[in-house]
């Protein structure tokens, strides 16, 4: 049964798409079966995987709004072990049309039922907003991965985001966990990058992935060639980092096999304090009693 991970952050341009595409390809390189779902009308994931605009191609829109099954929409990602549910700009309409549809937050959850058994990982690239598309993604996910740039006010941004995720946990998906916070576009030549990374680690502890994604021009170039970085330049720092991240994600899944074994320091320290403050001591079952890895 696949682990379903949304890659989400309301903030734009933080590396969500780059992470979805390159983590997906790296997991496939480790012989995992991967489905990537492009849940963003910008369709950057679709084009980064080498699928230019094509009005004839079925997309996530048909599944969410017209109820077509995923079997008819999933395409071969042209990489061994990697499939894709593409997007295009029509998906903008879905965010609006969903408003009047029954069960509007759970359309994607329903679609995933038929394909979950076929994959080890399902990665969902979310748009930079908290619209109904993102809500569908988060409702359907086991966990959320949050890419963030090491920049001024990063801690405030992540705290607010975790606060929002905690609210969603109470409303749309009580099982939603934090897969991890991923530091992206890290530049080790700047003091600011280093300082922010250190602060984030001391504040959010083990919720932050050990892997740090460096700022790397190969990562920025690869999408224009329609391929993940491991196929564009396997020796680049970017390729190395995403392969490392894939390893970390796989090893976290293995740790989770034993209940309570994941992210052992969740529930202690500053992150838990921030989390329970955000929960407002609502007694909703989150915070201290939420268990490891939960939002």
Given the rule CB under 5 A, which residues bind Mg ion? Answer: 16-17, 44
Determine the Cα–Cα distance for residues 171 and 104; give it in Å rounded to an integer. Answer: 13
Please state the closest distance from residue 94 (CB atom) to Mg ion, in A. Answer: 16
Is position 8 an interface residue for ligand ATP (rule: CB under 6 A)?
A: no
Instruction: Pick the closer one to Mg ion by CB: 45 or 286.
Output: 45
User: Which entry of Mg ion, ligand ATP, none binds 12, CB below 5 to 8 A by partner kind?
Assistant: ligand ATP
User: Which entry of Mg ion, ligand ATP, none binds 15, CB below 5 to 8 A by partner kind?
Assistant: ligand ATP
Q: Are 5 and 145 in contact (CB under 8 A)?
A: yes
Determine the Cα–Cα distance for residues 198 and 209; give it in Å rounded to an integer. Answer: 12
Site for ligand ATP in 116-135 (CB under 6 A): 128
Site for ligand ATP in 27-46 (CB under 6 A): 40, 42, 44
Beta strands 177-186; 143-149: pairing state? parallel
Interface residue with ligand ATP, options 59, 184, 236, 252 (CB under 6 A) = 184
Is position 107 an interface residue for ligand ATP (rule: CB under 6 A)?
A: no
User: Which entry of ligand ATP, Mg ion, none binds 207, CB below 5 to 8 A by partner kind?
Assistant: none
Site for ligand ATP in 219-248 (CB under 6 A): 219-220, 223, 238
Q: How many residues contact ligand ATP, by CB under 6 A? A: 20
Is position 159 an interface residue for ligand ATP (rule: CB under 6 A)?
A: no
Determine the Cα–Cα distance for residues 294 and 39; give it in Å rounded to an integer. Answer: 23
Instruction: Pick the closer one to ligand ATP by CB: 196 or 275.
Output: 196
Is position 188 an interface residue for ligand ATP (rule: CB under 6 A)?
A: no
Please state the closest distance from residue 59 (CB atom) to ligand ATP, in A. Answer: 16
- Residues making contact with ligand ATP (CB under 6 A): 12-18, 40, 42, 44, 128, 184-185, 213, 215-216, 219-220, 223, 238
């Amino acid at each position: 049964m696949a682990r379903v991970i949304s890659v989400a952050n309301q903030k734009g341009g933080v590396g969500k798409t780059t992470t979805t595409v390159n983590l997906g390809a790296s997991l496939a390189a480790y012989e995992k079966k991967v489905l990537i779902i492009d849940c963003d009308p910008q369709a950057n994931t679709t084009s980064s995987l080498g699928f230019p605009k094509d009005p004839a191609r079925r997309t996530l829109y048909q599944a969410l709004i017209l109820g077509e099954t995923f079997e008819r929409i999933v395409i071969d990602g042209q990489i061994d072990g990697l499939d894709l549910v593409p997007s295009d700009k029509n998906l903008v309409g879905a965010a609006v049309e969903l408003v009047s549809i029954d069960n509007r937050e759970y359309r994607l959850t329903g679609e995933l039922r038929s394909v979950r058994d076929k994959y080890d990982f399902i990665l969902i690239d979310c748009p930079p907003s908290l619209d109904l598309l993102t809500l569908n993604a988060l409702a359907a996910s086991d966990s959320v991965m949050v890419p963030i740039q090491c920049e001024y006010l990063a801690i405030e941004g992540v705290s607010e985001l975790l606060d929002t995720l905690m609210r969603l946990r109470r409303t749309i998906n009580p099982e939603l966990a934090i897969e991890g916070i991923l530091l992206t576009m890290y530049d080790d030549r700047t003091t600011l990058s280093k300082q922010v990374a250190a602060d984030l680690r001391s504040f959010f502890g083990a919720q932050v992935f050990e892997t740090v994604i460096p700022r790397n021009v190969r990562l920025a170039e690869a999408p224009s060639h329609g391929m993940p970085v491991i196929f564009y330049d396997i020796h680049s720092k970017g390729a190395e980092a995403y392969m490392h991240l894939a390893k970390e994600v796989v090893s976290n899944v293995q740790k989770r096999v034993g209940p309570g074994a994941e992210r052992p320091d969740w529930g202690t320290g500053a992150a838990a304090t921030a989390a329970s403050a955000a929960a407002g001591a609502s007694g909703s079952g989150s915070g201290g009693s939420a268990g490891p890895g939960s939002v």
